[in-house]
Structure 1
Amino acid sequence: MTARPSAAVERILDAADACFAHYGIAKTTMEDVASAAEISRATLYRTFSDRESLLTALVRRRARMNIERSRARIMALDSLTERVVEGITLNVRVGHRDPLMHALVSPEQMALANTLLSSTGLATELTHEFWEPVLTAARDTGEIRADLDLVGLCEWISRLEIMFIVQLEDTPEDTDRIRRLVADFVVPALTAAG
């Protein structure tokens, strides 16, 4: 994991978070963020070259706030199936409940989401950060195939999670549907003989 951002960067990210929540992703400007952070636009641009790099840093920070706690929660489960099913389900529910993440993957923001999450590799990076210890432990104990490319697998998982956030609601019925789909299709792909 990278070093913790400076207090100045944290203040900018706090301001950006507040602005994106207040104005929305599409309408927040760098001027709004600079004003909320009580810094000049020049200072903001020295720290973040554009709105996309600022949003990327904010998404990275928000995701990392949950990674350790969520991973510990799924690692306490007894089986690989439970860890994978509940881990993906938990990540989708967190994505639904986080206003910024949910807005980012909305149809209105799909082009920006594609740039930030897919083209930059951010979604794969954060998914790998979450799953790598879980999957490495499962590979070491023979619970998953030894030939799996973990980075490629994490890219697939991130795309699946984004799809679930976009296409399904945060309802008990859809949560159960995610669990069934992951148990029926994802888990067998991890454990099937290569």
Structure 2
Amino acid sequence: MSASKRDQILHHAATCFAARGLDATMNDIAVVAGVSRRTLYNHFPSREAVLAALVERQSLDFLGHLAVTLPAAADFPAFVLECCCAIIRESPRQPLALLHVGNEAGRAATALHFGSPRLIEAWLDFFGPPYVEALRRGEIDPAITLPGLLAWIGRIVTSFLQVSLPGDDEAAIRDQIDRFFIRALRP
């Protein structure tokens, strides 16, 4: 199967998962994609493998989007704040509804995201150069490791995506993240 055919299957699988959640079966995916079940199984050994490929593709696309759309920041903590706010604001608008972490499919997608070595590496690559520069300039506490920082970013944005509270507009979310997380990054 060509890469474009694989992409077509993933596109149709996204439609299935968005419509049916985790109840979408391999048969559903094959029917919507217009391929035989055998073809589907030749390239994706399970429904979970299809879901993992979808989450990875969307997450890498989203990270690429962040890389070109984030506004310039005064320093690394401000960059982290901008990243958190952009993720919270823009994740729900992504075409694959699986990243809406408040539902069952979203929780499964979130677990896949945080367990994907390729995605972890991509986030490390994204934050690595500004993190190293921030350490060099003394902008952040040197006891904060990059993997630890990324884990906290993931936990924070996931919690805001899972639960919306009264008064949680973008300004309030920005203030909370700044007050309770970003300020702790500084030495």
Superposition TM-score tier, normalisation by shorter sequence: 0.7 to 0.9
Question: What is the TM-score with the length of structure 1 in the denominator?
Answer: 0.79
Task: Decide which of 139, 142, 145 is 2:138's aligned counterpart.
Answer: 142
Does structure 1 residue 185 correspond to structure 2 residue 180? yes
The answer to whether residue 12 in structure 2 is matched with residue 15 in structure 1 is yes
Question: Residue type matched to 1:84 in 2?
Answer: V
Match in the other structure for 1:31: 27
Gap runs ≥5 in structure 2 = none
Aligned equivalent of 2:43: 47
User: What amino acid is aligned across from residue 10 of structure 1 in structure 2?
Assistant: D
Distance 1:172 1:72 in 2: 30
Q: 1:37 to 1:161 in 2, by over 3 A?
A: same
Query: What is the match of residue 91 of structure 2?
Result: 95
Q: 1:182 to 1:83 in 2, by over 3 A?
A: same
Q: Aligned equivalents of 1:7 and 1:107: distance in 2?
A: 30
- In structure 1, C-alpha distance between the alignment counterparts of 2:160 and 2:77, rounded to whole Å: 18
**d(CA) in 2 for partners of 1:140 and 1:151?**
17
Summarize the alignment of residues 22-171 of structure 1 with structure 2, pairs less than 5 Å apart.
23-74=19-70, 76-98=72-94, 100-103=97-100, 105-109=101-105, 112-113=108-109, 115-119=111-115, 124-125=120-121, 127-168=123-164
| Residue 84 to residue 8, structure 1, CA distance change in 2 (3 Å) | same
Counterpart-to-counterpart distance in 2, 1:37 and 1:189 = 48
- In the TM superposition, what is the alpha-carbon distance from 1:61 to its structure 2 partner? 0.9
Quote how far apart the aligned CAs of 1:177 are: 2.1
Aligned-partner Cα distance in 2 for 1:51–1:129: 29
- Work out the percentage of aligned pairs sharing the same amino acid: 29
**CA offset digits 1:91-132 (Å, max 9, x no partner):** 0112222351444x1244466346424455677555435433
Judging changes above 3 Å, is the alpha-carbon distance between structure 1 residues 150 and 135 closer, same or farther for their aligned structure 2 residues?
same
TM-score by length of 2: 0.81
Aligned length, in residue pairs: 185
User: SS in structure 2 opposite 1:24?
Assistant: helix
One-letter amino acid of the structure 2 residue matched with residue 14 of structure 1: H
User: Closer, same or farther in 2 for the Cα pair 1:176/1:163, shift >3 Å?
Assistant: same
Question: In structure 1, how many angstroms separate the alpha carbons of the residues matched to 2:136 and 2:39?
Answer: 47
